[in-house]
Amino acid sequence: MMAQLRIAIVGVGAYESSRAREYLATIQKLKDLYSICAICDRNQKSLEEAGTQFQVACRYSNFEKMLFIEKPDVVFVLVPTDGQIVFALTAARHKCHLITEIPYSLTLDFGDAVAEACHQNGVKWEIAENVWHWPNEQLKQKIVRKGLLGKITHARLWYKSGSYHGFNAIRMILNSEPTQVLGFAKELDMQSYDSYGGQQESKIWWENGVIEFENDVTCLYESSSASGKWGNHWEIEGTEGYLSGNELVLHSDRTTYPFEETYDQIGGERVLAAIGIGHSTSSSNFDPILWENPFKQYGISVADDVAKASILYSLHQAVTTGTNLEYGQRHARRDMELWITLRKSAGLNNIWIDIPLTKPTDLEKRLRSEYIKNYGGDPVTDTADLLQSSFRRLSVMWSVAGWL
């Protein structure tokens, strides 16, 4: 029987549909892995609603008080982006294992500070990158590993916001490290619109870039307001065929192979059992490839819920068995570093920039300055003072770089 970890959540979301509530629902399904010992939020209405919804008796508005009294094994930080480092550092210094929402952090140095605090206190830190855990993405990774596309030549990525998600998807499919980035970026005027934070905006950023990988693969990337026309989308092309969205196309027979889902009945519910390719096509000239849902016995079926469960399972295994985290600091840092490197290249008149970066970029320095200006302190050195700050939904990443 697996060891059950006591998990506390800080930041419960303002609405029933909030991402934090979705995580709470997934955690409750993983009963043999976790028990929710406490929740914390400064918004009393949200705290009471979430406590009632998920039947959590221990509810706190003071984070440190919760840590002192409850002594959780794990803290899941689901506060707005600007507050994550403050709560993560505090939890790590209290010797709690950590899960934080994406991205790695506002700057690489901020994320590195959390990693160092975890190392010094002997705790694990998983970052909740979901995209590469989606069932379709895990099948794509298998297809490329099996060699169905032949030698991979290039990838194309369109991503509307939070492009570290898209970089993550590409990197995990390619299974290769990036070596250099060429970037373009420009702030554009556009018709007035409501931003993620609810403010009226009339500017938007356009980005374009080229990423070179170790295995001689090139990724072409773009983010613009027009990306919303077809949504987030990526393609992987090789000498024998290509992946576009959720379809495989092979050049040998000019055939398109759609991804095939199969379902089981679990507890009276229709639950995703597997996603595969080549199973229903008798004429396919390759062995069928299958991804099976490891969480179907929990009734977890929706793609992003599978991802949530995978993230929670990764930390649980790392804590209880000593295995490596599936994603962790190394991968999370690299995905954010790609975005930062692209903007560094753009700011230096579009020159190639090698990865890894060796020192903070001008953009990161501006992000740190904007953070201090907005909240009155540095999150690494003034952590305790900032715990009571009111962190806005729209991060300083937006005001400085147009990033979500």
| CB-based contacts of 3-6 (< 8 A; 24+ apart in sequence) | 3/320, 4/31, 4/32, 4/33, 4/34, 4/35, 5/33, 5/34, 5/35, 5/73, 5/74, 5/97, 5/316, 5/319, 5/320, 6/34, 6/35, 6/37, 6/70, 6/71, 6/72, 6/73, 6/74
Mean pLDDT of the chain, nearest integer: 94
- Mean pLDDT is highest, among 52-66, 158-172, 214-228, 273-287, for 52-66
Q: Hey, what amino acid is at 376?
A: G
Distance separating alpha carbons of residues 312 and 133, to the nearest angstrom? 12
- Split at pLDDT 50, 70, 90, the class of 226 is low
254: confidence class by pLDDT, cuts 50, 70, 90: confident
The whole-number pLDDT of residue 205 equals 85
Residue position matching structure tokens 């990197």: 171
Lowest mean pLDDT among 127-136, 184-193, 205-214: 184-193
If you count DSSP H runs as helices and E runs as strands, how many of each does the chain have, helices first? 12, 18
Task: Find residue 290's DSSP bridge partners.
Answer: 276
* Per-residue model confidence (pLDDT) at position 13: 95
Give residue limits of the domains in the chain: 5-130+308-327, 132-299
The Cα–Cα gap between 253 and 225 comes to 37
Looking up tokens 């929990």 gives 298
Please write the tens of the pLDDT for every residue from 300-319.
999 999 999 999 999 999 99
Q: For residue 230, is pLDDT > 80? A: no
Question: For the ranges 289-303, 359-373, 389-403, which has the lowest average pLDDT?
Answer: 389-403
Instruction: Report whether 200 contacts 192 (CB < 8 A).
Output: yes
* Contact predicate 34/24, CB 8 Å: no
pLDDT interval class at 228 (50, 70, 90):
low
How far is the C-alpha of 316 from the C-alpha of 350, rounded, in Å?
A: 43
Question: CA neighbours within 13 Å on the CB side: how many for 382?
Answer: 13
Q: How confident is the model at residue 197 (pLDDT cuts 50, 70, 90)?
A: low
User: What secondary structure letter does DSSP report for 131?
Assistant: G
Share of the chain above pLDDT 90, in %: 84
Region 26-40: mean pLDDT is 98
Residue 282 confidence class, pLDDT cut points 50, 70, 90: low
* The pairing of beta strand 152-158 with beta strand 218-223: parallel
pLDDT for residue 78 is more than 70: yes
Say what the pLDDT of residue 193 is: 73
Per CATH, is 5-130+308-327 categorized as 3.40.50.620? no
**pLDDT of 153-175, one tens digit each?**
999 999 988 899 999 999 999 99
Select from 103, 102, 78, 26 the least CA-distant residue to 305: 26
- Residues 304 and 19: their CA atoms lie apart, in Å, by 10
Q: To which H or E segment does residue 95 belong?
A: none
- In degrees rounded to 5, what are phi and psi of residue 366? -70, -40
Model confidence at 286, pLDDT cuts 50, 70, 90, reads confident
Q: Looking at the domain that runs over 132-299, which CATH code has it been given? A: 3.30.360
Residue range 275-282: mean pLDDT, rounded: 79
Alpha carbon distances (Å) from 324 to 49, 122, 318, 328: 36, 14, 6, 8
Q: How far apart are CA 45 and CA 49, in angstroms?
A: 6
HSE on the CB side for 52, CA within 13 Å? 7
Contact present, 341 and 182 (Cβ < 8 Å)? no
